[in-house]
Structure 1
Amino acid sequence: MHFIDFKKEHFNHNEKTESYFIQISKEEIGSFDIEVLEKQNDETYSKTDCEILDEVNKITIKMKNPQDIRVKF
């Protein structure tokens, strides 16, 4: 299993929906199922509340507030 870590600063803000998002190219992660984990204060990761949109060429991860995350695929 592979993963990519993202910092809060990587998120873009959608002012209309008051949400934050990251887009990842499917070329980068392939067509695998993904799991999004939030980094905790003790440097471990746990499942996080987010919306995952699986589109033809990209995956979009939407969150209410930006967090340091790990995307496993």
Structure 2
Amino acid sequence: MPKPGRLELPDAAWSLELDGTSELGKTMYGHERLHVGRFTLADGTLMDQAREVMPTVSLPASRAAHLL
């Protein structure tokens, strides 16, 4: 059973529209690169469920530009 506020979909089909990749300059959380893009679940119902548990964050263009 998933924890509250989580959605576990290990077998769901998904896609990622990649906008850009940036080298982090140091390892963060075990990763050296940041990929920015749009993640979509193939099943629209699952996508709606995912939107309900994902926080909505908007970055000003000035902050987001260096990520691309």
**Same fold, TM-score > 0.5, yes or no:** no
TM-score, structure 1 length as denominator? Answer: 0.22
Normalized per residue, the structure richer in helix is 2
Indicate the structure with greater strand content: 1
TM-score of the two chains, using structure 2 as the length reference? 0.23
Structure number with higher relative contact order (C-alpha < 8 Å, ≥ 6 residues apart)? 1
Greater gyration radius:
2
